[in-house]
């Protein structure tokens, strides 16, 4: 760095979200020079998106639980945690379902 030049910086949370979002949507078959069937790619993309959504829910729950440790948690905080917990269960079920779908497609194509 030269004297007097300011370095640009990014918040890590923003970079991580942008990077992971990009990686989910990236067409890896072009890098691997593979021609995966469209239905498999679509199923894998859905699974990756749902896994990212599940991760966001888990992070939100962790942040709220951390807030609750600071003192007596208000009822609204407890209600939000309960709501997120229900969303987490639904997201986990959807991830499991999509994972089975990807496995099924892969097996049907003879790759499993």
CA–CA separation, 40 vs 43, rounded Å? 5
pLDDT digits (tens, 9 = 90+) for 2-23: 677 676 777 787 778 778 777 7
> DSSP characters for 30-65?
HHHT----HHHHHHHHHHHHHHHHHHHHHHHHHHHH
Percent of the chain with pLDDT over 70: 81
Residue of 46, 45, 44, 57 lying closest to 111 (CA atoms): 44
- pTM value is 0.59
Region of poorest pLDDT, from 7-11, 15-19, 53-57, 76-80? 7-11
Q: Are 54 and 86 in contact (CB under 8 A)?
A: no
12: which DSSP letter? H
Does position 92 have pLDDT exceeding 90, yes or no?
Answer: yes
- Number of other residues whose CB lies within 10 A of the CB of residue 107: 10
Does position 1 have pLDDT exceeding 60, yes or no?
Answer: no
Q: Are 67 and 73 in contact (CB under 8 A)?
A: yes
Q: Are 29 and 35 in contact (CB under 8 A)?
A: yes
Q: Are 25 and 46 in contact (CB under 8 A)?
A: no
Q: What is the pLDDT of residue 2?
A: 65
């Amino acid at each position: 760095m030269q004297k007097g030049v300011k370095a640009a910086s990014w918040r890590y949370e923003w970079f991580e979200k942008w990077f992971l979002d990009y990686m989910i949507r990236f067409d890896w078959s072009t890098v691997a020079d593979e021609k995966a069937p469209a239905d498999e790619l679509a199923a894998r993309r859905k699974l990756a998106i749902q896994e990212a959504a599940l991760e966001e829910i888990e992070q939100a729950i962790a942040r709220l639980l951390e807030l609750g440790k600071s003192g007596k948690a208000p009822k609204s905080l407890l209600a939000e945690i309960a709501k997120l917990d229900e969303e987490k269960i639904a997201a986990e079920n959807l991830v499991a379902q999509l994972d089975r779908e990807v496995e099924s497609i892969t097996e049907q194509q003879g790759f499993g």
